[in-house]
Structure 1
């Protein structure tokens, strides 16, 4: 009840939401304030607003209710002998090239766990974790700082320039970022981790990202690779995503001469929500550097 009043700023509206009378809600709010020896709301003709003490109490209430909801879900699953579910949001590179092998390992030891995975860009995943729509988010590159968002790095990735073997640069092993504006560039969409890291790398080296000749923006790394393979441009993407293509002589990978362009792959969780045992096991697997390195060396498609 307190949480609803705090979010509506209106006792009458909350009473309607909760199917209670307005006097009953008002009385219980006063009883709550009396129990804690403070005022949680400033009252006016326009409604109510949280006091400083009320804001502190509200943050604690949100955390407690989230823990209780998660506990209820777990107990209900046990009581009904239901399969457990981990809801994941992941960015493109991790979702296509790292996560499948990690989930395969987890499934072997915990076959009763199901996974719901959605691939989205970094900004969308961060917001979904904050709203508890995803239990865990896996992103590439930086994300906006938020007090309710816990960010843990689990892998360092390098961005490389990829060109088809028919490109004049195919005989080289490296390139400077200053050379890229002269080429047709195919990139991920705005909001993606790859795009952010690329633009930050240009700025850090005193170059203007707006000078890039971006001729195409695509929503997936796989689509970018197909466009580059067709000779429609070059791209800067994760080195994790092109190893198989390089082996088949489709792409040539060029490192950045100035300095390697690297980024952290990170795990996002909601700081106000506790993780289940299954989710903690998955997070532990992701922090196992040797395990990830071994999984990346395997190609289950061949």
Structure 2
């Protein structure tokens, strides 16, 4: 019956059997049959069907509320049963967007692993939409995203860091002696940017628009799909870029790049923790979220290389 409920919930939320079929990797006839079986079982019609899709009837709306509740109870039961299994190792399932996954999470996981070697981590790196959906479906327990957070009644959203976007250029660039730059100066330089649609690109373009500059005026000569690739191109002198300050905070990077603040107004984007509003965190998960909220400790962890993270007592994690 749980499978029937999952199918019903998906159709109710997508309002489209074809899309539900794709999302659930099931055939359309199979989905239609399961919906029909539910309607026959409960003696009610749950959907109005048109050429444009399906919509819930009044009976369907009532049933939808109960289905969501039942599926939430079943998911919590599975979590508790897994946690009680004697041979079950402690596991934290995480999702993170690209910048967090590349430049924040590795140090955090290295630090936690050395302090609590009995904990395993399973990490998915994906875009905000994918991470959000996995948290809602309880496929991952904690999501870490950059930029605007989604709004959903089943999501808890907590900001844990304000990430500043800065102008990054090689140390031999003529602007390297400066500490800041005006946005109006950027169109005169070759700019290396993230691909259209990336979170960093969206934040950059929105900030430029808000400050009265048309993003089309930027001289974008190269678009790349990862921050690390952008850094290599900039280090070679092929342009400048606007990226997260977190990505150039290591000593090695600071010997290669110069970062300039934006004069007009600093550009910040929030980094947020997503959790399911209907899930209870384990002790290990709370330890992770507590660490993320400890700004001083997190800043120190991120400033170190992996081999410097062994001194956990000095950083205070074992005392928590």
Q: Which band: TM-score by shorter chain?
A: 0.7 to 0.9
1:266 pairs, out of 268, 272, 276, with: 272
Rounded to whole Å, the distance in 2 between the matches of 1:282 and 1:211 is 42
2:216 pairs, out of 210, 214, 220, with: 210
Change (3 A) 1:218 1:273: farther
Provide the aligned length of Structure 1 versus Structure 2: 289
Change (3 A) 1:282 1:191: farther
Change (3 A) 1:28 1:91: same
- For the Cα contact (< 8 Å) 2:94–2:124, is it kept in 1? yes
- Please show how residues 36-115 of structure 1 align to structure 2 within 5 Å: 41=46, 50-52=56-58, 54-115=60-121
> SS where residue 84 of structure 2 aligns?
helix
Rounded to whole Å, the distance in 1 between the matches of 2:135 and 2:194 is 22
Q: TM-score, normalised by structure 2?
A: 0.77
Rounded to whole Å, the distance in 2 between the matches of 1:123 and 1:76 is 27
- How far the C-alpha of 1:134 sits from its partner, in A, is 2.9
User: Which residue of structure 1 aligns with residue 235 of structure 2?
Assistant: 229
Change (3 A) 1:6 1:247: closer
Rounded to whole Å, the distance in 2 between the matches of 1:248 and 1:233 is 17
- How far the C-alpha of 1:255 sits from its partner, in A, is 0.7
- For the Cα contact (< 8 Å) 1:156–1:263, is it kept in 2? yes
Q: Which moved more, 1:54-63 or 1:113-122?
A: 54-63
Q: Which moved more, 1:54-63 or 1:290-299?
A: 54-63
TM-superposition CA deviations, 1:17-70 (whole Å, max 9, x none): 59xx95xx556414xxxxxxxx77367899996334642542443244234224
- For the Cα contact (< 8 Å) 2:250–2:303, is it kept in 1? no
- Please show how residues 150-169 of structure 1 align to structure 2 within 5 Å: 150-169=156-175
Rounded to whole Å, the distance in 2 between the matches of 1:144 and 1:152 is 11
Change (3 A) 1:71 1:110: farther
Change (3 A) 1:44 1:177: closer
Rounded to whole Å, the distance in 2 between the matches of 1:143 and 1:106 is 26
User: Which residue of structure 1 aligns with residue 146 of structure 2?
Assistant: 140
Q: Which moved more, 1:191-200 or 1:141-150?
A: 141-150
> SS where residue 287 of structure 2 aligns?
helix
Gaps of 5+ in 2: 18-28, 309-320
User: Which residue of structure 1 aligns with residue 318 of structure 2?
Assistant: none
User: Which residue of structure 2 aligns with residue 36 of structure 1?
Assistant: none
- For the Cα contact (< 8 Å) 1:62–1:272, is it kept in 2? no
1:29 aligns with 2:39: no
1:244 pairs, out of 235, 247, 250, with: 250
> SS where residue 152 of structure 1 aligns?
strand
> SS where residue 250 of structure 2 aligns?
helix
- For the Cα contact (< 8 Å) 1:86–1:135, is it kept in 2? yes
Change (3 A) 1:245 1:251: farther
User: Which residue of structure 1 aligns with residue 203 of structure 2?
Assistant: 197
